């Protein structure tokens, strides 16, 4: 089977879904003729024209607001924020309407749409192109937040997001877009379920997005001189969080490290630690550690790599937790 990268996996999925379901459309800045600035929507305009592959005006609030209407009206919009750094213009439509329509109407109306957005650092970009703000969206009840980490899970998760009855923020780690390929065999992924990518006994390691790769490499680095049995969890859905998978794992291992690309405070790592505190505190043999960025404005790329969690930091955090 041919190996594909994450962009190809997402692109193939969109082609497939749009062919099978004529209510699905894509809309966003430069998603049509140009195929998206990362080419995730390449070829859809050629197939479906401007009716279902809409190059929108530059107005993120308008994009989401219009998509909310489309969704209530029976379409399934898959909209793109060109970069997550430009999604804040749509936040009032997300918090004020997309997330609340179901509750506000006591289930009479729902808003099944997907907001795709590349996010994250490590690509030497300009300002606003490197942040990880999954917590922003996850802090909104009624919104699901999904983050794939590989060509294998990106496609099925996008498909699940499009089929989901609720608004899904689908954050694509752009550092992983083309950095590696996999031969993708069909596999089911469910929104709201984390994946145990490797089971083990000694320590639970949780991560998501681009940090997943670094985490796997860090584990390899440790294994080159230390024998240990890690259980590695890819979170995949930030919200609603799969507490059970994490808690069960920690009950078994008694140790846990969480690796988060975003700033330290108020993010999913804090939430995971709180869940462990609630449900598995008595099983812990060491304090739960988190490896994160700092609570500073994401630095431009001259300093960026000093600030993002490094493999060295991950290695040290795992070792310290094992040795505690």
Partner 1 sequence: MPLDTIGTFSVSRLSILDETGKADTDLMPDLSEDQLIYLYESMTLSRMMDARMLNLQRQGRLGTLPVCTGQEAAFCPAILAIRDTDWFVGSYRELGARLMRGETLMNALLLFNGYEEGNVNPENDRTLPISIVLGSQLPHAVGLAYASRLKGEKDTVALTVFGDGSTSEGDFHEALNFAGVLDAPVIFLCQNNQFAISTPREFQTRSETIAQKAIAYGIHGIQVDGNDALAVYQAVKEAADRARQGEGPTLIEAVTFRMAMHTTADDPSRYRSDDLVASWEKKDPITRFRKYLTKEGIWDDDRQTALEARIKSDIDAAVKEFEQGVEIKPDAPFDHVFGTPAQIIEDQRARFLAELEKEADHG
Ligand X SMILES: Cc1ncc(C[n+]2csc(CCOP(=O)(O)OP(=O)(O)O)c2C)c(N)n1
Is residue 30 part of the contact set for partner 1 (CB under 8 A)? yes
Query: Considering only residues 55, 61, 72, 86, which one is a binding residue for ligand X as defined by CB under 6 A?
Result: 86
Tell whether omega for the bond before 240 is within 30 degrees of 0, i.e. cis.
yes
Strand 289-293: give its sheet, edge to edge: 195-198, 230-234, 203-207, 256-263, 289-293
Binder of residue 12, out of ligand X, partner 1, none (CB less than 5 to 8 A by kind): none
Spell out, one character per residue from 25 to 64, where the chain touches ligand X: x when CB under 6 A holds, - when not. Answer: ----x----------------------------x------
CB-hemisphere CA count at 13 Å for 155?
22
Binder of residue 313, out of partner 1, ligand X, none (CB less than 5 to 8 A by kind): partner 1
Cα–Cα distance list, 200 to 66, 230, 257, 316 (Å): 47, 5, 14, 19
Tokens 């493999």 found at: 311
CA 232 to chain centre: 17
Write out the catalytic residue numbers: 129
Is residue 131 part of the contact set for ligand X (CB under 6 A)? no
CB-hemisphere CA count at 13 Å for 243?
11
Q: Read out DSSP for 40-83?
A: TTTTHHHHHHHHHEEE--S-HHHHHHHHHHHHHTT-EEEEE-SS
Is residue 58 part of the contact set for partner 1 (CB under 8 A)? yes
- Please, what is the minimum distance in Å from the beta carbon of residue 81 to ligand X? 8
Q: What is the DSSP letter of 175?
A: G
Spell out, one character per residue from 68 to 107, where the chain touches partner 1: x when CB under 8 A holds, - when not. Answer: -----------------xx-xx------------------
Of the pair 58, 141, the CB lying nearest ligand X is at 58
Query: Considering only residues 42, 89, 95, 304, which one is a binding residue for ligand X as defined by CB under 6 A?
Result: 89
Is residue 29 part of the contact set for partner 1 (CB under 8 A)? yes
Query: Considering only residues 12, 15, 23, 55, which one is a binding residue for partner 1 as defined by CB under 8 A?
Result: 55
- Please, what is the minimum distance in Å from the beta carbon of residue 144 to partner 1? 26
CA dihedral (149, 151, 157, 158) in degrees, to 10, reads 110
Is residue 87 part of the contact set for ligand X (CB under 6 A)? no
- Please, what is the minimum distance in Å from the beta carbon of residue 122 to partner 1? 12
Taking a C-beta distance cutoff of 8 angstroms, is the pair 229, 200 a contact?
yes
* Interacting residue ranges for partner 1, rule: CB under 8 A: 29-30, 33-35, 37, 55-59, 61-62, 85-86, 88-89, 124-128, 264-265, 294-297, 299-304, 306-307, 310, 312-313, 316
* Interacting residue ranges for ligand X, rule: CB under 6 A: 29, 58, 82, 86, 89
């Amino acid at each position: 089977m041919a190996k594909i990268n994450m962009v190809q996996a997402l692109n193939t999925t969109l082609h497939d879904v749009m062919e099978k379901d004529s209510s699905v459309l894509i809309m966003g800045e430069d998603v049509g003729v140009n195929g998206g600035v990362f080419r995730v929507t390449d070829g859809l305009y050629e197939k479906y024209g401007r009716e279902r592959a809409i190059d929108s005006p530059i107005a993120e609030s308008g994009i989401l607001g219009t998509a909310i209407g489309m969704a209530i009206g029976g379409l399934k919009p898959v909209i793109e924020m060109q970069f997550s750094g430009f999604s804040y213009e749509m936040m009032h439509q997300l918090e004020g309407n997309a997330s609340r329509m179901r509750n506000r109407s006591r289930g009479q109306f729902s808003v099944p749409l997907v907001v795709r957005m590349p996010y994250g650092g490590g690509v030497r970009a300009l300002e606003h192109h490197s942040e990880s703000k999954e917590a922003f969206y996850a802090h909104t009840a009624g919104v699901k937040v999904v983050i794939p980490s590989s060509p294998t899970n990106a496609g099925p998760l996008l498909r699940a997001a499009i089929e989901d009855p609720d608004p899904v923020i689908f954050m694509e780690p752009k550092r992983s877009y083309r950095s590696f390929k996999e031969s993708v065999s069909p596999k089911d992924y469910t929104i709201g379920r984390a994946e145990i990518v490797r089971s083990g006994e000694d320590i639970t390691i949780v991560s998501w997005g681009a940090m997943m790769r670094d985490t796997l490499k860090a584990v390899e680095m440790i294994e080159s001189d230390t024998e240990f049995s890690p259980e590695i969890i890819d979170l995949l859905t930030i919200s609603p969080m799969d507490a059970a998978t994490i808690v069960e794992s920690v009950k078994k291992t008694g140790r846990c490290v969480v690796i988060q690309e975003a700033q330290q405070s108020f993010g999913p790592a804090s939430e995971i630690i709180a869940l462990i505190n609630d449900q598995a505190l008595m099983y812990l043999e060491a304090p739960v550690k988190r490896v994160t960025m700092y609570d500073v404005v994401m630095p431009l790329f001259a300093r960026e790599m000093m600030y993002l969690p490094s493999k060295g930091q991950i290695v040290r955090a795992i070792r310290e937790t094992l040795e505690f």
